[in-house]
Amino acid sequence: MGQSITKYAYSVSGAHVYEKSFLKKTDLDKLLTSPSYEAVTAVLADKGWTMPEDTRDSGKILELEMCRAWEWIHSAAPDPALFDCLILRNDYHNLKAGIKCLLSDFDVDLHFVSPTTLSRDLLKEAIEKHEFSSLPAPFAELGESVYDTLVRTQDGQLADVMIDRVCLDEIYDRAAKTRIPLLMKEMEIYIATTNIKTAFRAMKTGKDRDFLDRALTDKCRTISKEKILSLAEGKIEDLLSYFATTPYSAGTKYLSSSPSEFEKWVDDEMVSLLLPTRHSPLGPEPLIGFYLGKEAEIKNVRIILAAKQNNLPLEMVVPRLRRLYE
């Protein structure tokens, strides 16, 4: 048993202790049957969640809890950078949001998300001063390119494609570099299903092959970009038939009828993949499960808070809930 595995013993035991505070099904039932939004936030506070000054700001409640979990990993893991690919998409979201806000005179702070690998202050300063060279690769070159594209074309969708494509490529590369099979499998699911959603939406809205070529990453092992491109000028049914031959067939059947059901299927698949190593005493896998498990919990609480704010009936809410990490 190598040192690379045993060095996780302390952090894994800490994760198992922390997970005792994770929401269980009985907790979700209590949240669902709470009479009001305020009653839900009271239950969460009792469970140890940090409440912002304005408890009506549900986004802030969720962000504080997600950041608390991420900060714990960074303080406890022997090599926290291994887990950066789990939150990398937040950095790219912030780059996208920051540049668009700057060019539209919106308050960037209202659109940034956390946790991130990049300092929000550093990113904000680079965008506001148009000094992208202060950012690490690949953000420096990408930021400059996207900024110039938006100034010249005002094409927000093209900017989205440019950023999202680099994001997927970077997530894949970072995950592969760790050589952690579980992390690589989780990120493969995320990247492949993102390709699937992009291809489906693009064809539904009449985008051409060139658009798909720019938008899709070719780093997936379970989805063929070339196959998708070969179907770009055809019927959407042909694309769905191809998806039915992939490992994601059980989920892609929902794309036409309920894209939100596909999203739920993806989330549940990612959590299911974590469960066999949940109780492992060593190795990085339980920390991956810890963070992604917390992320699944956050998604459920977001659904419930939104339901309470909008007075939605239980029968509309329950089917949307994700699988818990338990």
* CB neighbour class for 255 (10 Å; exposed up to 12, middle 13-18, buried from 19): buried
Whole-angstrom distance, CA of residue 273 vs CA of residue 285: 11
Digit-by-digit pLDDT tens for the chain (326 residues) are: 344 668 999 999 999 999 999 999 999 999 999 999 999 999 999 999 999 999 999 999 999 999 999 999 999 999 999 999 999 999 999 999 999 998 888 888 888 999 999 999 999 999 999 999 999 999 999 999 999 999 999 898 999 999 999 999 999 999 999 999 999 999 999 999 999 999 999 999 999 999 999 999 999 999 999 999 999 989 999 999 999 999 999 999 999 999 999 999 999 999 999 999 999 998 999 999 999 999 999 999 999 999 999 999 999 999 999 999 99
H helix and E strand count, the chain: 17, 0
Q: Is cis: bond before 115, omega within 30 of 0?
A: yes
**Given this model, what pLDDT does residue 1 score?**
38
Domain boundaries, the chain: 1-77+286-326
Q: What is the pLDDT of residue 3?
A: 44
- DSSP class of 41: H
Distance CA 149, CA 155 (A): 7
State residue 104's pLDDT score: 87
CA-based nearest residue to 67, from 120, 12, 23: 120
How high is the pLDDT of residue 103?
87
End-to-end CA distance of the chain: 27
pLDDT on residue 97: 94
Is 242:231 a contact under the CB 8 Å cutoff? yes
DSSP for 109-160 reads GGT--S--SS-HHHHHHHHHTT-GGGSPTTHHHHHHHHHHHHHHH--HHHHH
At position 223, the amino acid (one-letter code) is I
Q: Are 208 and 199 in contact (CB under 8 A)?
A: no
For 2-35, b/e burial (b = at least 16 CB within 10 A) is eeeeebbeebbebbeebbeebbeeebbebbbebe
pTM for the model: 0.94
Backbone angle region of 246, left / alpha / beta, with phi > 0 → left and psi within -120 to 50 → alpha: beta
**DSSP annotation of 322:** P
Contact of 28 with 326, CB cutoff 8 Å: no
